[in-house]
Structure 1
Amino acid sequence: MTTLPARVSGRPRIERRRHYGQYVAAGVLVVAALFLAKSLATNPRMQWPIMWHYLWNTHVVSGLVVTLVMTVVCQTAGTALGCQLAVMRLSRNRVLQATSGLYIWFFRGTPLLVQLIFWYNLAALFPTLGAGIPFTGIGFSVATNTLISGLVAGFLGFTLNEAAYMAEIVRSGISAVDPGQREAALSAGMTETRCMRRIVLPQAMRVIVPPTANQAINLLKATSLVAFISGGDLLTNIQDIYANNFAVIPLLVTASVWYLIVVSVASVGQRYLERHVGRGFTTFNDAPEQARDKREAAG
């Protein structure tokens, strides 16, 4: 909203310019949203009773639990592996740089669904997997199909794929830290590892946390891809149900409701986490609030 200074009785006054076009656009959007909501609410093909009936179904809730566990485990493992890859990418050792770069190039360059299907069909390439001591005959082996289920393939695919993206996020965060911080720590007698852990990474967190939270939310939604390999997640269990009763639309709405609830809660947590790690720094969104506080303090 534009403000124009004016003087009334010798004192400055702020005049606010009204933007009628915004009001018209907002009114059109509200009317369109109401018509859409009415159409969905009164459409008998939506079968709302079925949607509400299956919202707390045990099979649906168990799939939701698998989705949440997969998200937490894969994001945690992917972040840990991504940190290692980022450090390798920033290393002066060219072998480590090349290894990390090749890993990131491959897993970012191939579709996630292709990776999941590959891990699920690993038995076609290696019928058995095992380990042992070379030249001794001591070891064990197991059928790959027994070891790599749809759920295990999902954990492998998401973790390895997430690590590639997290490596770039962590690398950009580390690169954003003033090089003088590292030089000062090393000149004070710190080792490279201690400097990275105590000086660089804590400052880089302000840059790393926001995209990491976005990655976690994207991963939560991407777990639905394991439905293609029967991974037992929320969408997989939803498909199991509507394959029997053919209520496709209401059950997809049930899945969407759960995804929206979980993503909304995660978004609120993301907001508080970003504010926590960004303490002491002024952001674009916080600047107007701080300016308003200063005006109110000045009377």
Structure 2
Amino acid sequence: MKNRITELLGVQHPIVQAPMGWIARAQLASAVSNAGAFGIIETSSGRLDEVREEVAKMKTLTEMPWGINVAQAFVRDPDIVSFVADQGVRFVTTSAGDPNRYCDALKGRGLTVFHVVPSLAAAEKAIAAGVDGLVVEGGEGGGFKNSREVATMVLLPLIASKTRLPIIAAGGITDGRTMAAAFALGAEGVQMGTRMVSAAESPVHRNWKDAIVNAKETDTVFLNRHGPGPALRALRTEKTTKFELEPPPNIMAEMGRALELYFGGDMEAAIALSGQVAGRIDSVKPVAQIIGETIAEFDAVMRELGARYGKVGEAA
């Protein structure tokens, strides 16, 4: 497949792994890149010393293209632009903040910059800032969300109708059929988060992966809609079910024991961020298998639709 996303990223498949805090590190990201897709190293954990170590590991694990995410709400290092540019990557996503903050500086160092947007207004601001493209993130995706979430089915074609910039779709993407749907709605690439959390190479505890595999489509909750702090989409647990109706005073304080959940397997220690596609994931698979099956199904769906509807509108 060749389009603007594969050309900008230098990859075989226009599939990007989401930059999830503590999870999107060398072990997972290198597996994604080695499978012909695009791995991303996170900064949203805020632990840049550890991120530096992961970047060094990444360089030993893959020779394929990969990138870095700058999560502005969690990164306080004034030298973050130089840090990113010095890694030799050509692509960066920015998120959780004003696209004007780093766009010019990153592009001035020769990087391609995509900004993550949850609304048309945010997309228009990013476009005005001069970004090279957009990651359009629907509200069904997991993690930190806009408090007024809009589903990918609505948000993606809306933004695509307002810009000619290349778009990567996020939220609700887990296989080739959803990838094909995203392309029909205006995307040229897709981003997978929850699907990658559940992958064999994901570093999270098996309890979290099993919770995703066992989840129904209704087993996520949308938390903290009215603040203060960010809204979140997470797996339903005893803790998050309570928080759905009785929000804590500080939702971010509930992430203080995140590592006990992420790597210790205590699903009540913190908040297990997850998208609604958890309800469509039924097994733990290696990254290469996920990517391969996604592309095969995407091709099959596109061919099937072409064969079924390709002559619609033609004269009899």
Higher RCO (CA 8 Å, separation ≥ 6 residues):
1
Tell me which protein shows more helix as a share of its residues: 1
Structure with larger Rg = 1
Q: Give the structure-1-normalised TM-score.
A: 0.20
Q: What TM-score do you get using the length of structure 2 for normalisation? A: 0.20
Higher strand share: 2
